[in-house]
Structure 1
Amino acid sequence: MAAVFWSAQAASVLAMDPILPHDQVRPGMTGTAWTVVDSSGVRKDFQVDIVGTLDNGKGSQPMIMAKASGPVIEQTGGILQGMSGSPVYVGGRLVGAVAAGIKEMTPYTFFITPIDEMLPLWKMPDRKNQTHIHTIDLHKLAEEQAKKEAEQKKKQEERAGKGAGGKLTGDALIERAREALAEQKKKAAAEEAASPAAPSESAGKADSADAKESAAPAEKTAEPKSVLYFSGFNQAGLNFLQKQLDPQGTMKFLPMGAPVQADMNRTDYEASLAPGSAIGVAVAYGDFAVGATGTVTAVDGQKVLAFGHPFMHRGNVNYFMTDAKVVGTISGQSNGMKIANIGSIIGRISQDRATGIAGTIGTFPAVVPIRVKVRDASLARVDDYGARIAYDEDFLAQLSGGIAYAAMSKTSDNLSGSTAKVSFTIRTNAVKGGKVERNNMFYNAADVGQIAMAELMQAMTIISQNSDMESDIIDVQVQIDVDDTRRTASLISAVPDRKTARPGEVVNFTTTIKPWRKAKETMIIPYTVPENQPDGPLVLDIRGGGLVPATPIMVLQQSGLDVKSEDDAKLTAADRLKKLQESGRNNEIIIAPGPVQKQLSAHEQRRLAQEQARRKAASRKVTLLGAGEKKKTGESKFATNYIIDNVIHATLQIERK
């Protein structure tokens, strides 16, 4: 009965505690900090003695130096990662957030980020979370549904509130019990709010394991590192994602912090937090999660401040806010940590700044759902994975590719010497048709997953970096088929059925390939000579679809630089996506003119233009069978079951008469 009652109640709302600005803080002041250190979820206090204030000059962030003591600190062995954001009070007034210790020195001395430096986060511009897709406010929908149910229930109770003889019925007794519990809750909240020394004890649910290893301003502090928790990723998946998100190695990646099964994919619309509670922030959530945990510093209604230092220092952001469940603490001189698991989604983080993170409970980020289905033929295993990625353009491509790779790696266990077929569909308004679809085949002796994710990440990058508009992505579906055999083949020969041809004519090439450790195979591939092809020799490349002549621009792109050719720079995002979808696949044999062909003279160009006009007029005669439809010439594609790994050449003599 009590469980039913509490789940039906709206979360209590806290008002902002009074503050003590850092310019009023003096050495020798004694205060109290609050944090959660174990699985009980109870916030515990420890003593804080102010040592002094630090100011590194104009434009620098002031900090307050302090020492921690008391039973809680003795238990944990000092200030740990994950305690960041813990509120510090002096005389019942909020001074700031525990932010950092001094690496390789005593873990009992730490720095406080002043609360007056954190409060401006609530007023920072928020231009993220914009979407043109029609959405439903689930929170509002739930409230309206609960209101209707309450009204219907009230009418039913009015009609049958009392039974025979004026005695209360069972339903009425339950309602009386609920009312009594409500009065007890209100009374307890009022008593706690009357105590100025401690932050209000509303239903604090969230904790976070520090996003920064150290944020102290003094020169003696270590270079700070963001600490990211990753759940669902095996070591190979973690290594792959680290290369994508942090190629310079500036962050710590820890394989822990998974949402517990009961909280997985759950959104808590009635959540509340209190100063000192655990809190989580995530950029991906579900079977694969990426985020961090820490501590709430201040609450004002639905607005929250936490961490006392950056998560990833990205400014205006669009991340999940979650509650968190503390597991315990691990002491250490320079790397002690409070371990916590990311919990249910409860809101949105909108600011990730030098002084901390800020967000709102009950509002939620725009998301990109991703589903990955992996089939491994050799292990006879099929697995489905799902996650939600917060729509932040800085991470969409990397996280999409990282999640798909991790799913592939976990299902197949070993990706060396394997062949993979990858198909994906991205539903987006970046293209007129509403879908970006692509499938391809990959092989790699070391790790096929390292190259198999490239096109998915390329497509997501084009969409998220659309220079014309902010494109919406409805969802991403990925299908991966893995075979632990090598499915490659080399072209042996391509013999045309004639040596001389006219523009527009079809020439059939008898093409022979030699698959890896298999017998030769032969196929007939038709090729249509371009209608604008001049007289003379036509040199053709017969190649695998993934083999294109390398250019200096491509070499730079493969090294990780974001550069475009002059032609690509003129393309819209939709054009670039179309180009990707129509580009050759690795398992195709493509017959196309080579890169160097004879240049036309001015006379030949005029004659060719007249010929093209004549042919165009003739092509307007359309039969009922569609025989007059225009066909694309100049390139033929033929799909095979192998990745074609080489190029051969053939020559036709073109005669226009």
Structure 2
Amino acid sequence: MTVVQGTRTRRGTALGVAALGALLLGQAVGPAQAAPLAPPGECPAALTSAQATTGLVGEGLTVVKGRTPEPFRVEVLGVQPDGIGAGRDLVLIKVSDLPGGHVVDQGSGIWAGMSGSPVYVGGKLLGAVSYGFTSSPSPIGGLTPASDMAALLDLGSTKARTAERSSESSPKLTASVRRAVAARAGAAVPSGSLERLPSPLTVSGLSSARLERLQKDVTTADLPLRVFAGGRAAVPTAAPTERPVPGGNFASVLSYGDVTSASIGTTTYVCGDQALAYGHPDRFAGPARYGANDADAVAIVQDDVFGSFKMADLGGSFGTVDQDRLSGIRADLTKVPSTTPVTTTVRNADTGRSRTGTTGVVDRDLLPGLVPYALWANVDATFDEVGDGRLTDGWTITGTRGGGKAFTVHRNDTWADRTDASFEPAVALADAVYALTDNEEEHVTITSVIYDATVSTTFRQLRLTKVEVSTDGGKTWKKDAVRVKAGKKLTVRTTVKPYQGSKSIKKVITVKVPKAAKGLQANLSVFGGASLDGEGGDDTACLLEDSCDSDEDSSLSTVIKSIQSAPRNDELVVELQAGSDDEAKGDDDSDGKGDTLVLTHRELRQAEVVTGARSVAVEVR
């Protein structure tokens, strides 16, 4: 059955896997046979990897510029059994330009963004270009067989789950196979293994420094993406507006709006309400939910170091990617995806400039990883500088917990930084989103993130310089160690000093020693709230790969309480703690976890962000 191109007719059962078997019984085409490519339209018949005989010549389709597919020549060099995975053959190919063509020369071989480019022999689909040598430019690559991709058409669409780490392997060429391929291709085969082609990742709204950080994050998270600056696309709100064509651009969208992010590839197959693309996984998530969009190719960027790639901006909506598998991704062409809005309002206290922006995140598994970039995009646009500054913010996270019950988490804080006032606030919010979704007791769906901040170049900070303790109401002060009776009070005097200021600020607070502490070796700790920030370093990559450290045993209610009650950066925290002898003495070998009992906890609000820590040994009699 053939569906006329451009219609919305639903694919009939005749294109199920069972019926596709009949389509795969087309005659094998002999070696070196090359028929002029006639665009087969939708629902083409397919060939199997067994029909990919050495010397077989076909033609591929891909987009170099704009949206119009251009043809290129493909020669089969051989078939590597199980080259992609168990039971998944890899067709080894060499690509070249047709007379007057300029597909391969644009990228000096196979380039990132060709993934999914369909290859036809006699009007039948042989497969999709999907593998290449990423270490150096080469016309030699790999094809995912059409029969493997066709199996995606009948996969049931179930609830999307967290992306698993890919178990796909890099097809390895033995020395004998490498020699045979080189002889057949008439070209040297680069060292290393064939790998799935990396996907160009177009990202809008970020400065070059933020893009570099994002590239570092996706690389650390082992995501095969090449980040480049692109244009924004609006969240689709109605039915799809475009329809993919074989060989045309295909964008798998992670987010829309301020930070529009999407991997770029090529459409392989279109039939009825479905389309297939890439010929390899995007994130290998299985059941998935990404946006599916058209794109406009800007250029093929030649890069002999990291590999050439296609730059493109997003176009209209195709629908929703609902499957992300080893042999490719599948799109439902009947509906657009829903998103989680991350809305940010930023005011510049120095210039009066204010801006509200929204990033709609489609892939909710990546919500924690994309949240900081949504904040940075608006702060950079509104603050219009990176450097020392002061930021006050407030945010609200809403969502549903187990059983569908709604919850809300809210927090305010103050920040100060000599290099980037927006870095820690963005990571702190992302960590909160991650902690909520990563709890192990309840399934959580975040429905919105609302962020509000005021930023200025006025850097102000307090530093804790001295802590003194008295047991007689302030007549005598000690800095190192004190003895006190259980049930009595300790008078604590703190001294803080402003950044680049000479005037010290002293405050006094009393702490009652519980009677239950009798006979314990304790420690009086005083620290600024800002001293607690940055304990995770600057690692934001773990937010993308779902591997950040978290308290796995905490309930959702405990996580919410912990987020909302955590000390603010402009607070001075006074704690009397008791634990093991090593902990009480501040031994460096003590991990400070599990065995420490907080006897008394007080917080003092200060005028500015406070850093620094001091401690006094306490013997309770």
Question: TM-score under structure 2 normalisation?
Answer: 0.72
Give the corresponding residue for 1:48: 74
Of 353, 359, 380, 1:381 maps to 353
* 1:78-134 deviation line (CA, Å, top 9, x unaligned): 544323212222222211112234457775444321111112223445443489xxx
- The 1:494/1:597 distance shift into structure 2, 3 A limit, reads farther
Asked whether the equivalents of residues 344 and 452 of structure 2 are also in contact (C-alpha less than 8 Å), the reply is yes
**1:574 is matched by which residue type in structure 2?**
S
- The 1:573/1:591 distance shift into structure 2, 3 A limit, reads same
Which whole-Å CA distance do the structure 2 matches of 1:377 and 1:237 have between them? 23
Give the corresponding residue for 1:576: 559
Unaligned 5+ segments in structure 2 are 1-5, 12-41, 163-168, 175-190, 475-483, 582-597
Deviation at residue 398 of structure 1 after TM alignment: 1.2
Give the corresponding residue for 1:467: 440
Asked whether the equivalents of residues 112 and 200 of structure 2 are also in contact (C-alpha less than 8 Å), the reply is no
Which whole-Å CA distance do the structure 1 matches of 2:337 and 2:279 have between them? 22
Residues 1:258 and 2:289 are matched in the alignment = no
- The 1:651/1:24 distance shift into structure 2, 3 A limit, reads closer
Deviation at residue 239 of structure 1 after TM alignment: 2.9
Of 445, 448, 452, 2:425 maps to 452
Asked whether the equivalents of residues 527 and 636 of structure 1 are also in contact (C-alpha less than 8 Å), the reply is no
* 1:557-609 deviation line (CA, Å, top 9, x unaligned): 99977556xxx4432122122112211112102233144599xxxxxxxxxxx
Asked whether the equivalents of residues 258 and 377 of structure 2 are also in contact (C-alpha less than 8 Å), the reply is no
- The 1:387/1:648 distance shift into structure 2, 3 A limit, reads same
Asked whether the equivalents of residues 504 and 528 of structure 1 are also in contact (C-alpha less than 8 Å), the reply is no
SS in 1 for 2:112: coil
* 1:233-263 deviation line (CA, Å, top 9, x unaligned): 1122223333443326764433233246xx5
Q: Among all aligned residue pairs of Structure 1 and Structure 2, give the percentage whose two residues are the same amino acid.
A: 23
Deviation at residue 427 of structure 1 after TM alignment: 0.5
* 1:419-442 deviation line (CA, Å, top 9, x unaligned): 333322110124977111122233
Give the corresponding residue for 2:576: 593
Give the corresponding residue for 1:646: 612
SS in 2 for 1:421: strand
- The structure having more radius of gyration, on CA atoms, is 1
- The 1:416/1:595 distance shift into structure 2, 3 A limit, reads farther
Residues 1:280 and 2:251 are matched in the alignment = yes
Residues 1:541 and 2:525 are matched in the alignment = yes
* 1:474-524 deviation line (CA, Å, top 9, x unaligned): 100112332323321134456779629999999886655321133646576
Asked whether the equivalents of residues 371 and 387 of structure 1 are also in contact (C-alpha less than 8 Å), the reply is yes
Give the corresponding residue for 1:636: 602
Of 372, 392, 397, 1:421 maps to 392
Asked whether the equivalents of residues 238 and 406 of structure 1 are also in contact (C-alpha less than 8 Å), the reply is no
Give the corresponding residue for 2:322: 350
- The 1:481/1:12 distance shift into structure 2, 3 A limit, reads same
Deviation at residue 389 of structure 1 after TM alignment: 0.9
Alignment of 1:222-237 (within 5 A): 223-224=195-196, 225-237=198-210
- The 1:583/1:259 distance shift into structure 2, 3 A limit, reads closer
**1:352 is matched by which residue type in structure 2?**
D
Of 279, 288, 295, 1:317 maps to 288
Give the corresponding residue for 1:188: none
- The 1:407/1:245 distance shift into structure 2, 3 A limit, reads farther
Of 118, 137, 153, 2:149 maps to 118
User: Which structure is higher in helix share?
Assistant: 1
Give the corresponding residue for 1:407: 378
SS in 2 for 1:62: strand
Which whole-Å CA distance do the structure 2 matches of 1:76 and 1:327 have between them? 16
SS in 2 for 1:246: helix
Asked whether the equivalents of residues 291 and 336 of structure 2 are also in contact (C-alpha less than 8 Å), the reply is yes
- The 1:558/1:252 distance shift into structure 2, 3 A limit, reads closer
- The 1:63/1:534 distance shift into structure 2, 3 A limit, reads closer
Which whole-Å CA distance do the structure 1 matches of 2:207 and 2:376 have between them? 10
Asked whether the equivalents of residues 528 and 633 of structure 1 are also in contact (C-alpha less than 8 Å), the reply is no
Which whole-Å CA distance do the structure 1 matches of 2:580 and 2:538 have between them? 26
Residues 1:241 and 2:175 are matched in the alignment = no
Give the corresponding residue for 2:63: 36
- Number of residue pairs matched by the alignment: 523
- The 1:520/1:387 distance shift into structure 2, 3 A limit, reads same
Deviation at residue 228 of structure 1 after TM alignment: 2.1
Which whole-Å CA distance do the structure 1 matches of 2:467 and 2:319 have between them? 62
Asked whether the equivalents of residues 545 and 589 of structure 1 are also in contact (C-alpha less than 8 Å), the reply is yes
- The 1:251/1:108 distance shift into structure 2, 3 A limit, reads closer
Which whole-Å CA distance do the structure 1 matches of 2:421 and 2:533 have between them? 22
Give the corresponding residue for 1:198: none
Asked whether the equivalents of residues 490 and 515 of structure 1 are also in contact (C-alpha less than 8 Å), the reply is yes
SS in 2 for 1:635: strand
Of 426, 439, 460, 2:412 maps to 439
SS in 2 for 1:299: strand
Deviation at residue 388 of structure 1 after TM alignment: 0.9
* 1:118-171 deviation line (CA, Å, top 9, x unaligned): 12223445443489xxxxxxxxxxxxxxxxxxxxxxxxxxxxxxxxxxxxxxxx
SS in 1 for 2:450: strand
Give the stretch that moved more between structures: 473-482 or 345-354.
Answer: 345-354
- The 1:353/1:72 distance shift into structure 2, 3 A limit, reads farther
Give the corresponding residue for 1:17: 44
Alignment of 1:292-331 (within 5 A): 292-330=263-301
Alignment of 1:469-484 (within 5 A): 469-484=442-457
SS in 2 for 1:585: coil
**1:515 is matched by which residue type in structure 2?**
P
Question: TM-score under structure 1 normalisation?
Answer: 0.68
SS in 2 for 1:74: coil
Which whole-Å CA distance do the structure 1 matches of 2:540 and 2:103 have between them? 51
Unaligned 5+ segments in structure 1 are 1-8, 132-213, 599-631
**2:145 is matched by which residue type in structure 1?**
P
Which whole-Å CA distance do the structure 2 matches of 1:401 and 1:250 have between them? 18
**2:372 is matched by which residue type in structure 1?**
G
Which whole-Å CA distance do the structure 2 matches of 1:585 and 1:430 have between them? 26
- The 1:299/1:223 distance shift into structure 2, 3 A limit, reads closer
Asked whether the equivalents of residues 317 and 392 of structure 1 are also in contact (C-alpha less than 8 Å), the reply is no
Q: CA RMSD in A?
A: 4.1
* 1:521-579 deviation line (CA, Å, top 9, x unaligned): 657665563665556898643331344699xx989999977556xxx443212212211
**1:582 is matched by which residue type in structure 2?**
S
Which whole-Å CA distance do the structure 2 matches of 1:245 and 1:446 have between them? 23
- The 1:109/1:495 distance shift into structure 2, 3 A limit, reads closer
SS in 2 for 1:405: helix
Which whole-Å CA distance do the structure 1 matches of 2:463 and 2:132 have between them? 60
Give the stretch that moved more between structures: 274-283 or 330-339.
Answer: 330-339
Give the corresponding residue for 1:62: 89
**1:642 is matched by which residue type in structure 2?**
E
* 1:601-645 deviation line (CA, Å, top 9, x unaligned): xxxxxxxxxxxxxxxxxxxxxxxxxxxxxxx99322222231211
Which whole-Å CA distance do the structure 2 matches of 1:581 and 1:398 have between them? 21
**2:102 is matched by which residue type in structure 1?**
E
Give the stretch that moved more between structures: 468-477 or 357-366.
Answer: 357-366
**2:128 is matched by which residue type in structure 1?**
A
